[in-house]
Chain A
């Protein structure tokens, strides 16, 4: 079964709005990563947050991690049409990553 599960499965917003995606996982982790995938392409790493961190920023991205609830969120502020993509969280299982099914984000111009 998948370690990480994203919520919602799909999200549609207007340009300029903020987008929030959530990820829940089951077992203890050393880090949690977020990836982005444009349609028909490979995944691109966005941000990694370690288990001893609660919040991390990178440009318009803000990631939070709550290890007590085994959950993480990815916030994209001031969204743009170019942010349209699928977003995946990835958690560790042994020495490998396990990906969720992703959130499909559509940003309408």
Chain B
């Protein structure tokens, strides 16, 4: 079975702190994604990556950056956390499929609270 793990289930940080959210997948997937989920807004794509050291902006990249130094690991970085970044963060991965968009496998999520 595909396994996607996220470093923390719950995280509390203070405004202005630098925050790292880590995601690791064990299925040799090329694609990895970071979403945030908020009530009434659904899932919104922050950043995604098709390969090592490669990244693409999603719909809401402002205030975030990402790092993909190894194929299995995709990190989301909040350079200076703000209260409006309090949210559930979901990581996902999938195979590269040039013909169509493949199934995404999700981690359990990290609920981040910024005080």
**A residues bordering B, Cβ < 8 Å?**
2, 30-31, 33, 35, 40-45, 48, 50, 88, 90, 92, 95-102
Contact = CB atoms under 8 A, between A and B. Distances in A.
B104 interface: yes
B24 to A, nearest CB: 14
Contacts of B45: 96, 98
Q: Is the interface of A mostly helix, strand, loop or mixed?
A: strand
Contacts of B106: 35, 42-44
A101 to B, nearest CB: 4
Chain B interface residue number, banded: 20 to 34
A37 to B, nearest CB: 8
A40 B109 CA distance: 8
Interface of B: 4, 33, 35, 40-43, 45, 48, 50, 58, 88, 90, 92, 99-101, 103-109, 111
A45 B41 contact: no
B66 to A, nearest CB: 14
A101 B43 CA distance: 7
Nearest to B104: A97
Contacts of A35: 106
A98 B60 CA distance: 13
A5 to B, nearest CB: 9
